Chains A and B, each alone.
Chain A
Amino acid sequence: MKSHYVRKLAAVLPALVLVCAGAVLLSQKVNAAGGGSITGTVKLSGTAPHMKGIDMSKDPVCSKAHDTNPAKMENVLVGSGDGLENVVLYISQGLTGNEAPSSQEPTFAQKGCMYTPHVLALNVDQKFKVTTEDQTTHNIHPLPDPTAGNIGWNKSQPPAAPPIETSWKNQEVAIPVKCNIHPWMHGWFVVVKGPYATTDDKGSYTIQNVPAGSYTVTAWQEDLGTQTAKVTVAAGSAAKADFTFKGK
C-alpha cells in the first residue's frame, strides 16, 4: 500500500518539475533592453473647448490652495504649440503577450483638491501609490466597468494618512476616479498591457523599450476619444507616430 504511493509520487514529481521548468521558460520576458522606441507628438486642431473654472468654496481648505491660481477643469489641456497633454499612448496590437509590467511605482497624488497627474497610465499589476498632501479628508473612488473584471473601491484618506498602495488586475481603458467629498475632483487610471507613454505639456511622448516589430499604437484622450496608427519599429531605433485630435 505504502510503496504504491511512493511509486506514484515518484512518477508525479518529475512531471511537476518538467511543467514548472517549461512554464518558467515560456514566461521568460522579452528582453527589452535592445528594443526600439516610438515617439511623436499629439496635437489639437481647431479651437480648444472651454475649460470651466472650479468653485471650491464648499471646502475652505481647497479654495485656499487656489487663492492665487484659480482651479480649472483638466479634461482637455492644450500646451504650447497646440500640444495635447495627458494623452495616453499604448500598443493595442502586435504585442507578444510576454511583456513584464513596468517595475516603477508611480504616485497618484491629491494636491490642492485636484489629482496630480490627472491621468495615470499603468500596466496590469503595476503597483501605484495614492497619496494626499491636503489638510482635508479625501475619498478615492475609482469606478471600473464591472464587466472588465476590475474591482472598484472606495476608501477615505484623512490628512497625513499613509499612502494607499494597490494595482489593477485587468486591462481597462480607462477607469474614472473621483472624490465624493469634493465632487469636482476627477481623474483617470489607464490600465494597459505592454509599454506605454503619456504626453507632456507640449504634447510629445516617447514609448520606450519596444521590441522590433509591427504595432498598432493607440492614443487615448478622455474627451476626444481614441486614434490609432500603425508603426514598424526596428531594433534600436525610434519609430515616429504623430496624432492630431480635432477640437469640437
Chain B
Amino acid sequence: MHDTSTHAAAHHGPPTSFIRKHVFSLDHKVIGKQYYGLGLVAVIIGMVLSWVMRIHLAWTAYPIPGLHLLSGTGAPGNVMTPEFYLQVMTMHATFMVFFVLTVVPFAAFGNFFLPIHTGAEDMPFPHFNMMSFWTTFVAFCVMLLSFFVGDGPTLGGWTQYAPLSAVGAVAGPGQGSGVIIWATSIAIFCVGQLFGALNFIPNVLDLRCKGMSMWRLPMPTWAWFITSCMGLTSFSVLMPACILLILDHVAGTSFFVASNLVINDQLQPHSGGSTLLWQHLFWFFGHPEVYIAIVPGMGIVSHVLITNMRKPMLSHRVLVYSMGALAVLSYMVYGHHMFVSGMNPFSSLVFSFPTLLITIPSTVIVLVWIGSLYGAKLRINAASLFALGFISMFITGGVSGFFLAQPSIQILLHATYFVVAHFHFTMAIAALFGIFSGTYFWFPKMWGRMMNDNLGKLHFWLTFIGVYAIFMPMHYLGLAGNVRRYQAFVVDYMQPLVGVHQFITIAALFTGAVQLIFIYNFIHSRFWGEPAPENPWQGTSLEWSVPSPPPHDNFGGKHPVVYHDPYQYGVQSSTGDYLMQDSPEQVKGAQDEP
C-alpha cells in the first residue's frame, strides 16, 4: 500500500481504541453492522407499534396492559385514544420506511459488501461514511424523542399531507412540536443518506479493482448503485420539502397552507399556500423511496438465488436494465398516489400510463427469476427459501398494482386496505424477505459464524404463512371499501368486516412472535455459532475470497484482480462446479468476456 495513495484504506490503519473501532469507526464493515443494528432496533419498535395497532383495531374497547407506559395521556385506562392510534400508526410507518426498509437492505448490506464486491479496501470517503451513519442515528434519536415531547409524535401519517401537517398544534395533538420533530428528523435522515450516496456512487465508478468492469459487478452491487442514484435524486427533494414544512410552522410562511382556513372556529393566519405542492414534492420522493426499499432486495435475492441454483441467471444484463428502468420510471409515476387528490383529472390519466408501464420491467424481473429456476439444482436453505418467498410476495404485491395503476379503479380502492396490502407485500414484506435472505446468506461473512439453518427454515415457514395470513385478507377488506387509517370502525358497512380484522390481528401477533426465533438465532449464532469458513456457500464473488469476517482492509493488503463475470456456476473447475471471480483459471464454458 502506498502512503500517498488517495485510497481510503491508506488513510487509516486498523484502529486500536474501542471507540475508533466500534463506535466512530471509519471501516465500512463496522458502519454496515452499525446500520444493521440500528435497523434491528427500529424494526422491533415498528413491530411492537404494529401489534398495538392491530390489537386495538380488532378489539377496540379492550385495554392493552402496559399501554400507558408508551404514552402518558394517549391511553387512559390502557384504552387507545384516536389520536394515539394515529400517532402510533405514523411512527410505525416512519420507523419502518426510513429506518428499516431504507437502512437495512441499502445502507447496512450495501456498506458492508459494496466495497468488497468492487474489490476496494474501503469506501472512498470513510469520514463521510461514518457521518452518514451517525447523522442517521441522530435522526433516529430525534424521531424517538417525539414520543416524549409535548403531546406526542405527529398523527399526520408518514405522508404528512398539508395543511394538516403545516398549520400547527391547532390541527390536533402532535401537530405542533410533533411535526417539527418529524420534519427535522427526516431532513437529517436525508443528509445521512446523501452522504451514503456520496460514497456508493464513486466507489462503484472509481474504486473497482483491476479487471472489475461494470458488467462484472455482482447483482447486489448493481442494485445498490442504482438505489444510491435514486436516493441521491429523491432525498435531495424531500429535504427541501421538509425545510418548507418547518418554515410554515416556525416562521409563519405559507407554502402549503391555503387562505381562509378555519380550524376550531379560528381563522388561520396563513394565505395562499398550495395544498397540492406538498403532495407533489413528497411523492416525487415517495415513489422512488418505494424502489429504494425494494431494488436492493431484488439484488440480494438474485445473488442468493444464483448461488443456490448453481447456475447463472438467464441474463445478468436484463435484470440490471430492468432495475434501471424501474428507477427511471419511478420518477414519472408518482402522480398515481394522487389520482383523487384534486389534481387535474387529465394528469391522472397521464400518470396512469407510465404506472402501467412499470409492470413491464417488474414482469421481466420476475420472469427472469422464474426462468432461471428452470434447469437449476436448487439448494434449499434458509437464505434461498426467503429468496423464493420474496419472489412469491413480489408477484402477489405486483398484481395488485394492476388495479391501483388505473384511476377509475382507484375510485373504489384509493385509501382502502387494498392499498395497505399492496404496499406491504411489495415494499415492506418483500423487502423484509430480502433482508432475511441476505442475513442468512451473509451472516457468516459479517460475523464469522454460521447461523442455525434449521431454525432459519422454521422461521421462514412460519413467517411465510403468517404474512400471507396477515396481508392477503386486506385485499378483501379493500374491495369491500374498508378505509385505512381508521382507529375504529363506526361506519355501518364496515361492521361485518371486523371479524376479518380479528383474524388479521391474530395472524400478526403470531407472525410477530415468530420473529423471536430469528432474534434468538441471530444472537445465539453471533456468539456461539459454528465458526464460518471462508466460502460456505461455494460462491463466486469477491466477498467469498476473503476470510470471514474480512480483515480491516478487506483483502489483507493485496489488490484483487478479477478475471471473470460474477456468476460462473455450472462449470467444471478445479474447485468444483463454480469459478471464482478472482480465479485466473481458464475453464471451458465460463463466460468471462464482458
Chain B 72-92 per-residue mask, 1 if CB under 8 angstroms from chain A, else 0: 010011011111100000000
Instruction: Compute how far the CA of A136 lies from the CA of B266 in the bound complex, rounded to whole angstroms.
Output: 26
Q: Which residue of B lies closest to A154 (CB)?
A: B173
Q: Which residue of B lies closest to A163 (CB)?
A: B76
- Residues of chain B contacted by A155 (CB below 8 angstroms): 73, 81, 83, 173
Q: Is residue A236 within 8 Å, beta carbon to beta carbon, of the partner chain? A: no
Check A139 against B77 for contact (C-beta < 8 Å).
Answer: no
- For window 168-183 of B, CB contacts with A under 8 Å fall at 169, 172-173
Instruction: Compute how far the CA of A228 lies from the CA of B97 in the bound complex, rounded to whole angstroms.
Output: 60
- Residues of chain A contacted by B173 (CB below 8 angstroms): 154-155
Q: Is residue B344 within 8 Å, beta carbon to beta carbon, of the partner chain? A: no
Check A161 against B79 for contact (C-beta < 8 Å).
Answer: yes
Check B76 against A158 for contact (C-beta < 8 Å).
Answer: yes
Q: Is residue A33 within 8 Å, beta carbon to beta carbon, of the partner chain? A: no
- Residues of chain A contacted by B172 (CB below 8 angstroms): 154, 180
Q: Interface residues of B toward A: which range?
A: 10 to 19
- For window 147-183 of B, CB contacts with A under 8 Å fall at 151, 169, 172-173
In the assembled complex, the CB of A93 is this many whole angstroms from the nearest CB of chain B, namely 30
Contact of A176 among B81, B83, B84, B265 (CB under 8 A): B265
- Residues of chain A contacted by B61 (CB below 8 angstroms): 158-160
In the assembled complex, the CB of B423 is this many whole angstroms from the nearest CB of chain A, namely 28
Q: Interface residues of A toward B: which range?
A: 20 to 34
Q: Which residue of B lies closest to A59 (CB)?
A: B490
Q: Is residue A212 within 8 Å, beta carbon to beta carbon, of the partner chain? A: no
Q: Which residue of A lies closest to B85 (CB)?
A: A156
Contact of A154 among B79, B80, B83, B266 (CB under 8 A): B83
Check B79 against A158 for contact (C-beta < 8 Å).
Answer: yes
- For window 200-215 of A, CB contacts with B under 8 Å fall at none
In the assembled complex, the CB of B263 is this many whole angstroms from the nearest CB of chain A, namely 9
Check A178 against B82 for contact (C-beta < 8 Å).
Answer: no
In the assembled complex, the CB of B450 is this many whole angstroms from the nearest CB of chain A, namely 50
- Residues of chain A contacted by B79 (CB below 8 angstroms): 158, 160-161
Chain A 147-191 per-residue mask, 1 if CB under 8 angstroms from chain B, else 0: 000001111111111101000000000001010110000000000
Q: Is residue B488 within 8 Å, beta carbon to beta carbon, of the partner chain? A: yes
In the assembled complex, the CB of A164 is this many whole angstroms from the nearest CB of chain B, namely 7
Instruction: Compute how far the CA of A137 lies from the CA of B76 in the bound complex, rounded to whole angstroms.
Output: 12
Contact of B266 among A137, A143, A159 (CB under 8 A): A143
Check A157 against B264 for contact (C-beta < 8 Å).
Answer: no
Instruction: Compute how far the CA of A157 lies from the CA of B82 in the bound complex, rounded to whole angstroms.
Output: 9
Check B488 against A162 for contact (C-beta < 8 Å).
Answer: no
In the assembled complex, the CB of B328 is this many whole angstroms from the nearest CB of chain A, namely 44
Check B264 against A156 for contact (C-beta < 8 Å).
Answer: no
- For window 55-85 of B, CB contacts with A under 8 Å fall at 61, 73, 76-77, 79-84
Q: Is residue A240 within 8 Å, beta carbon to beta carbon, of the partner chain? A: no
Given contacts A137-B82, A178-B264, contact A154 B76 (CB under 8 A): no
Given contacts A154-B172, A159-B61, A178-B264, contact A137 B151 (CB under 8 A): no
Interface of B is mostly: loop
- Residues of chain B contacted by A160 (CB below 8 angstroms): 61, 77, 79
Q: Which residue of B lies closest to A61 (CB)?
A: B490
Q: Which residue of A lies closest to B83 (CB)?
A: A156
Instruction: Compute how far the CA of A153 lies from the CA of B265 in the bound complex, rounded to whole angstroms.
Output: 16
Instruction: Compute how far the CA of A159 lies from the CA of B73 in the bound complex, rounded to whole angstroms.
Output: 15
Q: Is residue A141 within 8 Å, beta carbon to beta carbon, of the partner chain? A: yes
Instruction: Compute how far the CA of A180 lies from the CA of B164 in the bound complex, rounded to whole angstroms.
Output: 14
Check B76 against A162 for contact (C-beta < 8 Å).
Answer: yes
Chain B 260-281 per-residue mask, 1 if CB under 8 angstroms from chain A, else 0: 0000111000000000000000
Q: Which residue of A lies closest to B80 (CB)?
A: A158
Instruction: Compute how far the CA of A231 lies from the CA of B75 in the bound complex, rounded to whole angstroms.
Output: 48
Q: Which residue of A lies closest to B81 (CB)?
A: A156
Check B265 against A164 for contact (C-beta < 8 Å).
Answer: no
- Residues of chain A contacted by B77 (CB below 8 angstroms): 160-162
Check B151 against A156 for contact (C-beta < 8 Å).
Answer: no
Check A157 against B265 for contact (C-beta < 8 Å).
Answer: no
Q: Which residue of B lies closest to A178 (CB)?
A: B264
Check A178 against B151 for contact (C-beta < 8 Å).
Answer: no
Given contacts A141-B264, A178-B264, contact A157 B151 (CB under 8 A): no
Instruction: Compute how far the CA of A164 lies from the CA of B77 in the bound complex, rounded to whole angstroms.
Output: 11
In the assembled complex, the CB of A126 is this many whole angstroms from the nearest CB of chain B, namely 21
- Residues of chain B contacted by A178 (CB below 8 angstroms): 264-265
Instruction: Compute how far the CA of A46 lies from the CA of B172 in the bound complex, rounded to whole angstroms.
Output: 41
Chain B 468-494 per-residue mask, 1 if CB under 8 angstroms from chain A, else 0: 000000000000000000001010000
- Residues of chain B contacted by A158 (CB below 8 angstroms): 61, 76, 79-81
Check A154 against B81 for contact (C-beta < 8 Å).
Answer: no
Given contacts A139-B83, A153-B151, contact A164 B76 (CB under 8 A): yes
- Residues of chain A contacted by B80 (CB below 8 angstroms): 158
Instruction: Compute how far the CA of A152 lies from the CA of B77 in the bound complex, rounded to whole angstroms.
Output: 22
Q: Which residue of B lies closest to A157 (CB)?
A: B76
Check A180 against B76 for contact (C-beta < 8 Å).
Answer: no
User: What are 10 A-B contacts defined by CB distance under 8 Å?
Assistant: A141-B264, A154-B172, A156-B81, A158-B76, A158-B80, A160-B79, A162-B77, A178-B264, A180-B172, A180-B264
Extra contacts besides A154-B169, A158-B76, A160-B77 (4): CB < 8 Å: A136-B490, A137-B82, A143-B264, A156-B83
